[in-house]
Amino acid sequence: MGERKQMEEVDALNETGRQCLERGRLDGACQAFSKGLDLLRENPDPKRQAALLNNLGHVLVAMDRRDEALERFQEAGRLSEGMGDRTGQAWQLANMGSVYRDQEEYEAALEHYIRALSFFEEEEQPMGMADQYSNIGYIHAMRREREIALEWFQKALAMYGSLGQESKASLVEQNIKVLLSSGRR
């Protein structure tokens, strides 16, 4: 198979995997992403590999295979680092933070979110920054650090508002309401 044709097949597998994921067909998504990665062993393409690893990581999270997901996000992060893609690295750090959050390993989650935030700030990526403000706020809320959580949520709310991200702003507003109501008990 020619290299161009192979890359087209990899891209098609990535799209198939994404469609399967959207439809909740996790096994199909896992197979498509894995097959794409297998094809890239012959002709490595770090950008495509990082995308497939990222997508596979999200499928593995949905399948409750978090340790494997963490490995895929780490691999994608290393590839992003090798390409000099700080934004890609930041997203992988955030993904890893979310895996740790889901495992209630809040210190590790916070460390990853803070590192992701620093990369997003360096790259001037406001959406990534806002997401990390919210993630950091959530971790502080889970650690019962109400005032610190509120500060981070307020930063996220302001950034989402400036970006016109109404649905994300609404979620942050709900988190703030829950924190404020829990403080009145």
Which pTM was predicted? 0.94
CATH for 1-84?
1.25.40.10
Q: What is the pLDDT of residues 98-110, one digit of tens each?
A: 999 999 999 999 9
Q: What share of the chain is helix, strand, coil (3-state, %, to 5)?
A: 85, 0, 15
What per-residue confidence (pLDDT) applies to 182?
A: 85
Report, as an integer, the average pLDDT of 74-102.
Answer: 98
Which amino acid does the sequence have at 170?
A: S
Report, as an integer, the average pLDDT of 136-155.
Answer: 97
> 91 near 119, Cβ under 8 Å?
no
DSSP codes joined into one string, 56-78: HHHHHHHTT-HHHHHHHHHHHHH
Q: Residue 185 pLDDT > 50, yes or no?
A: no
Q: What is the pLDDT of residues 2-57, one digit of tens each?
A: 889 999 999 999 999 999 999 999 999 999 999 999 999 988 999 999 999 999 99
Distance CA 91, CA 23 (A): 23
Give the chain's count of helices (H) and strands (E).
Answer: 9, 0
Q: Map out the domains of the chain as residue ranges.
A: 1-84, 105-185
Residue found under tokens 């067909």: 25
Taken as a whole, the chain contains a residue count of: 185
Two tokens, residue 29: 């998504």
Domains 1-84 and 105-185 share a fold: yes
User: What's the CATH fold of domain 105-185?
Assistant: 1.25.40
Distance CA 89, CA 175 (A): 27
